[in-house]
Structure 1
Amino acid sequence: MPIHDIFPKTTLITSRRKKFFGQLFRVPGLSRRTKFYGAVALGLALTVYFGVLLAPSDFTKGSVISIKQGMTLSDVAAALEKENIVRSTVLFKSAIVLLNGDGKVLSGDYFFNSRPTFVGVAWRVARGIFGFAAEKITIPEGANVYEVAALVRQKIPKFDTDEFIRIAKDDEGYLFPDTYHFLPGVSAGEVHRTMHDTFDEKMKPLNDAVKKSGKNLHDIITMASLLEEEARHTETRRLIAGILWRRLDINMPLQVDATFSYINGKNTFELTLADLRDGSSLYNTYTHKGLPPGPISNPGLDSIVAALYPKESPYLFYLADLSGVTHYSRTFEEHKEKKFQYLP
C-alpha cells in the first residue's frame, strides 16, 4: 500500500517525514503487515503530538504570559489558551494537579520562544521556570535607595521603582551593594529582600566585632555610609573614622559635607554658608550634633570594616582637595590654612 494512501497530504507531513516513511517501508526483514502497523502507530503518535500535546499552530514565537499573584488555576489555563500556548485547559490543569498535587502555579512572567507541549508548560509554571535570561545589575557602594531603584529600572523597564522606594527607604544602609542577577519580571519586594538578605549574609563574619565594639549596628552602618562618601581608600576611611568617632566622644559636631548630597544633592564645592547654617534637616551635621538619624546610602564592606576598626591619630580635622587627596590637621587654625592652600 503506498504511503500516501495511509497518510493523505497534510501540513503535518513534511518532505522530511515523507522520506522517513519511505525509508521505513524499505527496512529489510520486516513484513508488509509489520511495516503497515508501524506506520499507522507512528502516524497516530504524530497526530496526538501535533494535534493534542503541542501548542496550536498559530502559536506566536516569543510569547510572554504574565501570571499574577492570586490567579486561580482556571484563570491561568484560560490565559494560556487565549494566547495559543495550550490547546486544552482541561489537559493543562490535569497536568498541573499531577505535578503539584495542590494545583498551585508560581506567579511571574513566562517566556515561550518555541511551540511547547501542555506538559512542558505545566512543568514550567508549576516550578517557576520563567524562560528569561537574568539581567546582570551592579549596585555600586554608596548608592541610596533612589539610585538603586533607578539602576534596576535601567535594565528592567517594568520595575516598580515607587514600590521599591516605599518598602526599602526604611532599610537605607542595609541593602548590600553587589552584582545581582534578576529576572525581567522581578518584583520590588524580591529585589529588596535579596539585597537585605545579602547584607545579613555579608555581616555574619563581623557580628562578633560589632558586639565587641561597644557600638550598636545602626551607628556603625550610619558611620560607614558617611565614610563611603568621604573617602575612597581603606586607610583613608579608617583615619577619618577615627576622627569622626573622636568628635562624637568630645561632643563636637561631625561637620560632614557628605550628608548634603542626601539633603539637597550638593557636594562640598557647591555648598553655601546658608546651606551649612540651615538646621531644618537633622542630617545637617553642622547644626546638629551626633550622628545623623540614619545611613545616607548603602555602604560597602570596606567602609563598614573601617567604621568598625578606626585608626587613631592626633588629627581632629581633614579635607580632600580637588584631586581627591586628603589632608589632615590637628587644630582648626591649621585646618583653615590648608583650606586656603588646597581648595579654591
Structure 2
Amino acid sequence: MSDSGLDLMTGGGDPSGDDGRSNRSNGRRRAEKPARKPWARWILVLVVLLALVFGAYTAYGKVQTYFNGPEDFPGPGTGSVTVEIPEGAGGQSIANILEDEGVVQTAEAFYQLSLVDDRFQAIQAGFYELQEEMSSDGAMAILSDRSNRVEGKVTIPEGARVDQVVEIVSSGTDISAEELQASLDDPSSIGLPDIAGGNPEGYLFPATYTVEPGANAESLLSQMVAKTVAVEQDLDIEARARALGYSAKEMLTVASILEYEANQDEDYAKVARVLYNRLDDGMPLQLDSTVSYVSGRKGDVFTTPEERNAESAYNTYANAGLPPGPIGSPGEKTIEAALNPADGDWLFFVAVNLETGDTVFSDTFAQHNVAVAQLQEYCQTAPDGVCG
C-alpha cells in the first residue's frame, strides 16, 4: 500500500468538514433553532397593516379637521335645554359644557370659534335656554346676547310691607311663601342688622331683583337687606340722623311713613317737616297710615274710630312719638326727604284731591279744618271708591 492510503486513514479527516471533531460538545448535542411557524409570520404582517391603516386614518382625520374644521351640527337645533355658564368660565370650559349638554357636536368646534369671534367676549355667567344639536355659530349668537339669559325678575314697590313682599315673590318666582317666611323668621340668615331688632319690616329694599333659576328665599331676601344697608351707607344715614336728633332706625321709620302719607315727590320733605314739628312740640302724630298698618285696612286713606282707639304701639293717635319701627320699605327718595326735611312751621297736612295727590299744609288747626272741608267737598263728587 502507498503512503497516501495511510494519510487517508490518519490525517485526511472526515469528508463532512469538521476536521474529525465530534458533533458532540462536552457530551451534549448542539441545540437547533426551531423552524418559524407560517401563521406567526402572517399575524405579524396583519399587526403591521392595522397599525398603518390606523395611522393613515388618524392622519386623514387631522388633515380633514385642518382644512374643514372640527365636526359641527348644521343647526338650527331642536328641543330645549337650559345651560348654566359659570362665573369666570373660559372658552374651553364653555365648549365642554355645550358638548356635554348636547348643544354642539364637538367642544372643539365651539372652542375654535371662540378664539376668533369677538362675540365671545360678551358672554356672561348665567342660565341660557338653548337647543340640542345647534351649530357653534348659533350657540354663540344666543350666549353673546344678554337678553337671552333665563332669569325671573320681581319688582318690590316703594312702601311694600313684608307680607306684600312675600306675595310678590312667591307669585312671580318658584320660591314658595313658606320658604320666604322661614327665612324671615331667621333674621341672621338674611343678614338683618341688629338695629332692626329681628323685624325685617322696612329692611327689604324696594327695587327690581333678578332671580336666577334655582335661587332660594335666603339668597333673594339677603339681597334686599344688603341693598338697604348699602343705601344707608351711601346716604350716611347714621351721622345725618344723629344731627337731627334721631337714630338710623327712626329715619327709616319716618321715611316709611312718607311713603303712605305723601303722594307727590315735592311733598315728601314737607310731610317730614310736619312730623318733626309735631314731635318737637310733643303732639301725637295722628297718622292713619300707622293705624292701618296694624288693622290691615286697604283701599283708602281713612280709618274708623274703632281703629283709632285700638291698643297698639303703632297707634299714633293714642301714643306720642314715632311708632316702634318702619311700616313698610322706604325708597331712596323718602329716606333722603326724611334726612333733609323742608323748612316750615306746618303742623297739619291733608290731601284735598286723592286722584292727583294735591296736599294742603297748615300751621294752625283752623287752617287745617278749612283744608279738611275741601277734602269733604271733593269726596262728594269723586269717582266711586276713591274716598272709600
2:162 equivalent in structure 1: 145
- Does 1:163 pair with 2:196? no
1:180 is paired with a residue of what secondary structure? Answer: strand
1:192 is paired with a residue of what secondary structure? Answer: helix
2:326 equivalent in structure 1: 295
2:257 equivalent in structure 1: 226
Shift of 1:206: 2.0
Distance 1:282 1:64, change over 3 A: farther
Matches of residues 67-106 of structure 1 in structure 2 within 5 Å? none
- Does 1:258 pair with 2:305? no
2:349 is paired with a residue of what secondary structure? Answer: strand
Q: 247, 250, 275: which one pairs with 2:307?
A: 275
Q: Match for 1:138: what amino acid?
A: T
Distance, in Å, in 2 between the alignment partners of 1:202 and 1:193 is: 14
Uncovered stretches (5+) of structure 2, i.e. residues with no partner: 1-51, 64-78, 85-99, 103-125, 134-147, 188-197, 380-388
1:255-291 CA-partner distances (Å, limit 9, x unpaired): 111113311222554421221122x221111011111
Q: Give the structure with higher Rg (CA).
A: 2
Distance, in Å, in 2 between the alignment partners of 1:284 and 1:309 is: 25
Distance 1:246 1:209, change over 3 A: same
- Does 1:248 pair with 2:279? yes
Distance, in Å, in 2 between the alignment partners of 1:232 and 1:240 is: 10
Shift of 1:33: 7.2
Matches of residues 1-344 of structure 1 in structure 2 within 5 Å? 35-38=56-59, 62=81, 133-159=150-176, 160-167=179-186, 170-207=199-236, 208-266=239-297, 269-278=301-310, 280-321=311-352, 322-323=354-355, 324-343=357-376, 344=379
Percent of residue pairs bearing the same amino acid type: 32
TM-score normalised to structure 2 length: 0.55
Distance, in Å, in 1 between the alignment partners of 2:292 and 2:213 is: 31
How many correspondences in the alignment?
Answer: 245
1:186 is paired with a residue of what secondary structure? Answer: coil
Q: Match for 2:372: what amino acid?
A: K
2:360 is paired with a residue of what secondary structure? Answer: strand
Distance 1:251 1:270, change over 3 A: closer
Q: Does structure 2 conserve the Cα–Cα contact (< 8 Å) formed by 1:142 and 1:300?
A: yes
